[in-house]
Each structure stands twice: as structure tokens, then as C-alpha cells.
Amino acid sequence: MRRAFVEASTQQGSVLLRPPPPTPVMPPAENPVTVPPSPSQPDSAPPSDGSDLIAARREKLRKHRAELGIEPYGQRVDGLMSLAAARALHSETASAEFEAAEAKRKADPTQVTIDGRPKAKVAGRLVQHRDIGKLVFIRLRDASGDLQVTLSKGNMPSEGEFTLAKQLDYGDIVVAEGPIGRTKTGEICVWASRLEMHSKSVAPPPEKWHGLTDPEIRYRKRYVDMYSNPEVIRTFEARSRIVSGIRRYMETQGYLEVETPMMQPIAGGAAARPFTTHHNALDMTLFMRIAPELYLKRLLVGGMSKVFEINRNFRNEGVDRSHNPEFTAMEAYQAFGDYMTMLELVEGLVYALACQQWRDRSAAGLEVGGSETAPVIPFGSMRIDYRKPFERVRYAELFERACGFPMADMAKVRAKAREIHVKDEAKLDDWLVVNEVFEEVAEPLLNPERPTFVLDYPSAISPLTRPSRSNPVLCDRWDLFIGGMEVGPAYSELNDPDIQRAKFTEQLRGADDEESTFRTLDHDFLESLEVGMPPAGGMGLGVDRLVMLLTDSPSIRDVILFPLLKNTEA
């Protein structure tokens, strides 16, 4: 680190603070991106929206060019270290020795101070600016954290560079270098000997103490949200680690990652409304995919034995705290597995991610409970316990526990449905009533603070799923619930082409007018089953929801960088 700084500090090519005019500096040949400031460059344009704040910043921009000879939009800088790394370089001993020597020199000016403090060159966005006359304190922020830079008029190489320090605005991106020391009050800081402007922020900043809190502006202007609220970057770093953790785990289990079409001629694999698009050259209507399932199964037909895909699905449905029109899911299929194979896979995966997240949160000083091998992670007011094994409960058992009678007792089921005011109870088929009662009465019995697999759903409410060999009323399907949210399902997949065709056809018959505009029989998929697909287990996992749970984020918008919002204009 130290060496990097020394090397970098000898390369003066990146210094932006040039001598004042009339030195006409041409762009260096090796860096054609740089444009020299010229009178023709309209500093006051584009026209501001009338805000004094913007005008004041643009005026500074003009002055920097005209009076200080600075080009405020910089270029490549070598030898930078993160603010956290610079802070870590601070040496109590070196600072104490330096301060003692300075005190001596004050008493006796013939004394010479040797500065043994480590040096650093850092960059960051300015988030605080305190001008105390001949001393300016600024606080810089980068992805690693904050660090104060102290600029003393006596330490700066030129009047202009100190003038720049005094004129800095909240939001500017600057580079500073100098020894790492501390102030009288003990604050670790860079005592700057150099200061360069690398990006003048001309937009009005958020409030420096409260920051940006309006959720709408936070989502619309995520780039402001990210620097104003540092925990946003932490959340997305965690998301990245979780997604790569999923990849690592799946690869360790021998799964191959694949990418299947996101634009599909037929939107299959789930019961959701698709988005429509159009290919001009082929004059073809296409659907954004609602699920990758039918393509992944084709891969099993083709001979791949363990595949997974992590990617976006698009569903033309409502938006709320746990739904965004585009969302990230993982689906995985294993030849010759079944839904219990998938249960073990998902349990191991979610547990491993929770352990990883427990360690990350501990290291960052965030709240955790339990232990590294029995992690407890907060989610709002809940404390979710990811200890293995997860809970397992059969659908029928949970139903009976909730209602006091078996789900096959249709007379009682219908009575219960009327009691809890299931709408259109009389029009619904028996098993749909069972499921309404289940969702209303039985699901609330699940402990939201324990991941729980609900196993063996009724076949009648899972029309595309393979009935169980031992009891065809039920099917080989589970759903995983965590924190009151459904995180994903799994199935023993249907591989009999005739039954699959019959179920698809039946589903199409039940489609209403709107559904029938986008729901058609996927003949190619059925042909692939006729070629022969091995029996398989398959699962889906809502990645955004899992990230919500593991990062204690109450809304899916907090874990999607740019969530969909309505247009504000027209």
C-alpha cells in the first residue's frame, strides 16, 4: 500500500490543479478523453431550472475553470486506496511522535519535525464541509465508509488549492492525499497536502443530517439514495454475496448453470399473465418469460442431469411489498430426483446462505442471534431461526390441526368456508374450497420465525403436478414458508407425455377470454416429453424474497436496485 502511494505520487500526470492561466494545457496525447476548458464551453448552460442552488454550483464550476485553472471533471487516478484502508493505516505511535515533535518545534523553531505518519491518496464524495477560516474539514464517503480530510492553509501547496477547498460543495467528488493523523479531538483524518476536484456536482444535494428519506425519491433517484444512505450499498453488497453464494452452492452440488430464453413464443411454466413484445424483422409476437421451467426440462430430455438458472421472470400482475413485475428466481432440476431431493437441496442452500449472512452481519456489527451454525437473523420484529432441520408439516395435518376435522370431510369444509366468509364458496370446486380454508386458517399456524416446508398438497389444486404414487389425492409438492412469505415450491416432475398433454389441455379449457389470448399449448415441449424425460425433481426459489429475509429488508423494492415505478409525467 505504502509503495503504491509513493509510485503514484511521483506520477504527476493525473494532477488536475494546473498553474493558473495563461498556461494553455492541451489534452495529453495518451488521454484523448480530456477536453481543455475553453471560452466556447458554455459553463452556464444548460439552463438551470431557476434554482439558486444550481446556479451557485455552476458559478463555482465557471470560477474553477476561469480563475483556478482547474478542469473539474477529472480523469484516471492511480494509487488510490479506499477510505477504510486509509483509516486502517493510521498509527497511534506515529501520530504521537509527530505531535510531540511539532510541540517541540513550536517552542523552539530551530527544531525539525520528521513526519513518520503513513500517507494515503484517497477519493470520495464530499458529505460534510466545515470552513473554519484557515482550516477546512471535509468528510469524504466511498463504498467502504467515511473519512475526514483536514485542509490547513499552511499545508497546501498553493493559494488556489486552498481556495478550492473552501469552495467545495456537498456532493463533489475529490481526491486528496497526505499523511494520516488525527485532530485535537482524536478524529482520524488525512491531513491533506494535495486536493483535486474530479467531479463537480451541480445538482442540489439532499439534507446533510436527515439525508434522503422520501421513499419515492429514494427509488427514483437510487444513485442519490446510495450515497446519502450508506446502508443501501450494504444491502446490495449482501445481495451480490447471496447470489454468488447460491451459484457456489449449486456448483458444489454438481449443478450446471444455464441460460434459457427470456423472450418466448409461448409463455409457459406458470399461471401468470405475461408481458407481450414484438420482433420486427421476424414479425413475431413474443412473451417475456413468466418461468424458465419448460426450457429447463427440455435440457433434461437432452441429457443434462442437474441444471439451474438464476434470472429474471416477468409477470404482468400487481405490485406490492413482496411483488415487483420483474423479479429474480432460481429454478433447478435434477434428473432421477424427486421433491424430497429438492427439499434437502433447498434446506442445505438456505441454511448455508443464512450462515454466510450471519458471519457477514456479525463482522459488520449488525444484529444476529443464535450461533454461526444455528443462525438467527432479524426480519422486522421477527427473529428467524435458520437452524437445521427446517420444520416440515404435511398439508393435511396442518389443515386438521387448524380446523379440527380432516380436509376430506367436505360437508364440514364447506361449513367452515361459510363461517369464515370465503367468497363465492358455493361456486368453487371442493378442493379449491379446501385450499381457501387452508390459506385462511391453517397457514397462519405456521411459525414465521422458522423456515417451514408444507408437504403433499392436494392434487386438485396443483393441476400440472404429478400425483403421488401412494395416494393420488395428494401430489409430490412442497412450499417453503419463511417469515410469512412463500419463498418457493418444488415438485416431483411429471414426465408422462400423455398425462401432461391432458393436464395442459384441461387447463386451457378452464381459461377465460383474457387468458386464452396468451395461453396456448406448447407442442414442442410435449414433443420433448415424447422423446422421453427422466423422472426429476424441480424447484423454484424467489431470490428477491430470500434477500429480503437475509438482509432484514421490509420491501422487495429495498432489494431491487431500480424497482418499477409509474411515470410521473403525462
Q: Is 159 in the site for RNA (CB under 7 A)?
A: no
Q: Least separation, in Å, of the C-beta of 512 and RNA?
A: 11
Contact 170, 129 (CB under 8 A): yes
Please enumerate in sequence order all residues whose Cβ is within 8 A of that of 438, keeping only pairs 6 or more positions apart, or say none: 395, 398, 399, 402, 407
Footprint on residues 435-474 left by RNA (CB under 7 A): none
Q: Which residues pair with 486 in a beta bridge?
A: 481
Per the structure block, which three cell numbers stand in for 338? 424427486
Q: How many CA atoms lie within 13 A of 141 on its CB side?
A: 17
Task: Closer to RNA by CB, 423 or 469: give it.
Answer: 423
Q: Which of 132, 281, 363, 411 binds RNA (CB under 7 A)?
A: 132
Q: Is 514 in the site for RNA (CB under 7 A)?
A: no
Q: Which of 486, 511, 521, 535 binds RNA (CB under 7 A)?
A: 486
Task: Closer to RNA by CB, 3 or 509: give it.
Answer: 509
Q: Which of 95, 144, 150, 462 binds RNA (CB under 7 A)?
A: 150
Q: Which of 25, 96, 415, 565 binds RNA (CB under 7 A)?
A: 565
Q: Is 477 in the site for RNA (CB under 7 A)?
A: no
Q: Which of 7, 78, 159, 214 binds RNA (CB under 7 A)?
A: 214
Cα–Cα distance for residue pair 271/439, rounded to 1 Å: 18
Q: Which of 319, 460, 461, 499 binds RNA (CB under 7 A)?
A: 319
Q: Which of 8, 101, 270, 382 binds RNA (CB under 7 A)?
A: 270
Residue 276, Cα to own-chain centre: how many angstroms? 26
Cα–Cα distance for residue pair 266/289, rounded to 1 Å: 8
Task: Closer to RNA by CB, 30 or 52: give it.
Answer: 52
User: How many H helices and E strands in the chain?
Assistant: 17, 20
Q: Is 152 in the site for RNA (CB under 7 A)?
A: yes
Please enumerate in sequence order all residues whose Cβ is within 8 A of that of 338, keeping only pairs 6 or more positions apart, or say none: 476, 492, 535, 536, 537
Task: Closer to RNA by CB, 300 or 541: give it.
Answer: 541
Task: Closer to RNA by CB, 137 or 386: give it.
Answer: 137
Q: Is 146 in the site for RNA (CB under 7 A)?
A: no
CB atoms < 10 A from the CB of 536, how many? 26
Longest Cα–Cα distance of the chain, Å, equals: 102
Q: Is 216 in the site for RNA (CB under 7 A)?
A: yes
Q: In whole angstroms, how large is the CA radius of gyration of the chain?
A: 31
Task: Closer to RNA by CB, 32 or 318: give it.
Answer: 318
Cα–Cα distance for residue pair 381/59, rounded to 1 Å: 49
Give SS3 for 468. Answer: coil
Q: Which stretch binds RNA (CB under 7 A): 229-237, 319-327, 394-402, 408-416?
A: 319-327
Q: Least separation, in Å, of the C-beta of 284 and RNA?
A: 25
Amino acid found at 1: M
Residue 195 burial (C-beta neighbours within 10 Å; 0-12, 13-18, 19+):
buried
In the shown chain, the binding pattern of residues 385 to 424 toward RNA, with x for contact by CB under 7 A and - for none, equals: ----------------------------------------
Long-range CB contacts (within 8 A, 24+) of 132-139? 136/162, 136/165, 136/166, 136/168, 137/183, 137/189, 138/165, 138/168, 138/174
Q: Is 106 in the site for RNA (CB under 7 A)?
A: no
Task: Closer to RNA by CB, 172 or 360: give it.
Answer: 172
Task: Closer to RNA by CB, 91 or 316: give it.
Answer: 316
Q: Is 516 in the site for RNA (CB under 7 A)?
A: no
Contact 135, 165 (CB under 8 A): no
- Cα torsion 279, 282, 285, 291: sign: negative
Footprint on residues 523-542 left by RNA (CB under 7 A): 542
Footprint on residues 166-185 left by RNA (CB under 7 A): 167, 169-170, 183-185
Q: Which of 34, 322, 447, 507 binds RNA (CB under 7 A)?
A: 322
Q: Which of 77, 197, 212, 396 binds RNA (CB under 7 A)?
A: 212
Task: Closer to RNA by CB, 263 or 374: give it.
Answer: 263
Residue 259 burial (C-beta neighbours within 10 Å; 0-12, 13-18, 19+):
exposed
Q: Is 204 in the site for RNA (CB under 7 A)?
A: yes
Task: Closer to RNA by CB, 211 or 230: give it.
Answer: 211
Q: Which of 32, 42, 186, 365 binds RNA (CB under 7 A)?
A: 186
Task: Closer to RNA by CB, 30 or 512: give it.
Answer: 512
- H or E element at residue 526: helix 523-531
Q: Least separation, in Å, of the C-beta of 152 and RNA?
A: 4
Q: Is 545 in the site for RNA (CB under 7 A)?
A: yes
Where helices occur in 404-483 by DSSP H, the ranges are: 410-419, 430-437
Q: Is 231 in the site for RNA (CB under 7 A)?
A: no
Q: Which of 4, 8, 53, 428 binds RNA (CB under 7 A)?
A: 53
Q: Is 271 in the site for RNA (CB under 7 A)?
A: yes
Residue 325, Cα to own-chain centre: how many angstroms? 16
Distances (CA, A) of 439 to 309, 395, 481, 532: 30, 11, 12, 36
Q: Least separation, in Å, of the C-beta of 165 and RNA?
A: 12
Footprint on residues 32-51 left by RNA (CB under 7 A): 51
Q: Is 211 in the site for RNA (CB under 7 A)?
A: yes
